[in-house]
Amino acid sequence: MDIQNIKNRYGIIGNSSALNYALQVAVQVSNTDLTVLIHGESGVGKEVFSQIIHNLSPRKHNPFIAVNCGAIPEGTIDSELFGHEKGSFTGAADSRKGYFETVNSGTIFLDEIGELPLGTQARLLRVLETGEYIRVGSSKVQKTDVRVVAATNKDLLQLVQVGKFREDLYYRLSTVPIRVPSLHDRPEDIHILFRKFAADFADKYKTAPVQLNEEAKQLLINYPWPGNVRELKNIAEQISVLSQNKEITAKELNKYLQPFSNSRMPVLAANANGQTHEFNNEREILYKLFFDMKKDVTELKRMFLEVLKNPELTKQNQNFIDELKDLKSNEHLPPSIVQPALNIPQPLMVDNDIQEHEEVEESLNIVDKERELIVKALKKHKGKRKDAALDLGISERTLYRKLKEYSIED
């Protein structure tokens, strides 16, 4: 089955390359029994991908169940998944089958897998490795043939590092990882989705569909959509029901959107007269930072050379060193500049034949500096764009645009 037929069958709207790739992987892996781990933010439609995998698999005529691991209390989740024997705990009046028994030969979708308690994780690992499990309160080993598709909106490797998720389970689950893109990662699909939702709600409520003018379209695309497709659908429904006008302006649309902070919003900085002015983009902000750093370093070099070239200033060395110590606390000054000066012996011995210092002008090309910072951030966070963007103080969408602009391979 081709991708377009899949979209039509499951009501998936959009043409972004990231979405098409995720669907392609889901189709290819569906015909196997491999365990799949679906990554994606809340509201992107991870459960739809689990249904695609099951319905295109040889197990499609067998049971399918979706379990939200975060919605089941820790004290009962083992019983829910693996069943329990009568009297195994307070309130266990009868024996009960768990999901791995009732869905035998089918598929179980474990949503929010990162919420599983560590004890339950160990039981799940055994099921994945051997197909065996034990009911709560029993000593009898039972067999099951269930395909597991898991999903998470958390960084499981980060949970592994802090001891909240088993590393062996992580690698066992992520045999085939699928990343469902967030809505802000597919801006070309946002207006298409809105039009579809608006048409559906117009039909549902027997009204004319609302339409956005150009400014409203840009606002819709630039909004970060933390709730993803689910949030966009809710906004479309609110506008369809509450708006008096069928042509929506940016001002009216803004009433329905949640306030958000955008790293591209202007930053205010004070000048020498105490007045403020705006830096409208990251380049100007970075340029000011580098310029201030260069001024500090240049001033330090000047002070250092003045002492070296004037023997009469020997008595003033202590004041100079005290000043250097104050400057050392300045986080913008590299230790390689300050520390050698602090190690000057007392009294200061000066060679009368010191050559005139030639200052080498360093590159202040803002594009080079910006590219360097982006590369360093990606290396620091092992290619994770979301974390790198947070570290850089820019949005993930802005980082994606700059990766293309600077031809950076992450």
- CA atoms of 254 and 259, how far apart (whole Å): 9
Which residues partner with 96 through β-bridges?
A: 84
pLDDT for res 354: 42
- CA atoms of 185 and 202, how far apart (whole Å): 27
Question: What tokens does 268 get?
Answer: 């205010």
Write out the chain's pLDDT in tens, 410 residues: 689 999 999 999 999 999 999 999 999 999 999 999 999 999 999 999 999 999 999 999 999 999 999 999 988 999 999 999 988 887 778 888 999 999 999 999 999 999 999 999 999 999 999 999 999 998 999 999 999 999 999 999 999 999 999 999 999 999 999 999 999 999 999 999 999 999 999 999 999 999 999 999 999 999 999 999 999 999 999 999 998 888 999 999 999 998 865 443 433 434 444 443 444 445 555 555 555 666 666 666 676 666 666 655 555 555 555 655 555 555 555 555 545 555 544 444 444 444 444 454 555 567 777 888 888 888 888 888 888 888 888 888 788 778 888 788 76
pLDDT for res 41: 93
pLDDT for res 336: 52
pLDDT for res 239: 94
Question: What tokens does 66 get?
Answer: 């979706």
Burial of 106 (0-12, 13-18, 19+ CB in 10 A): buried
What are the phi and psi torsion angles at 83 (to 5°)? 85, 175
Domain ranges of the chain: 3-181, 184-254, 267-362, 366-405
Which residues partner with 277 through β-bridges?
A: 269
- CA atoms of 231 and 237, how far apart (whole Å): 10
CB distance 401 to 282 below 8 Å: no
**Domain 3-181, CATH among 3.30.460.20, 3.90.1170.50, 3.40.50.300, 3.20.20.80:** 3.40.50.300
Q: What's the CATH fold of domain 184-254?
A: Helicase, Ruva Protein; domain 3 (1.10.8)
- CA atoms of 238 and 227, how far apart (whole Å): 15
Please indicate, yes or no, whether the overall pTM of this predicted structure exceeds 0.75.
no
Q: Which CATH code fits 366-405? A: 1.10.10
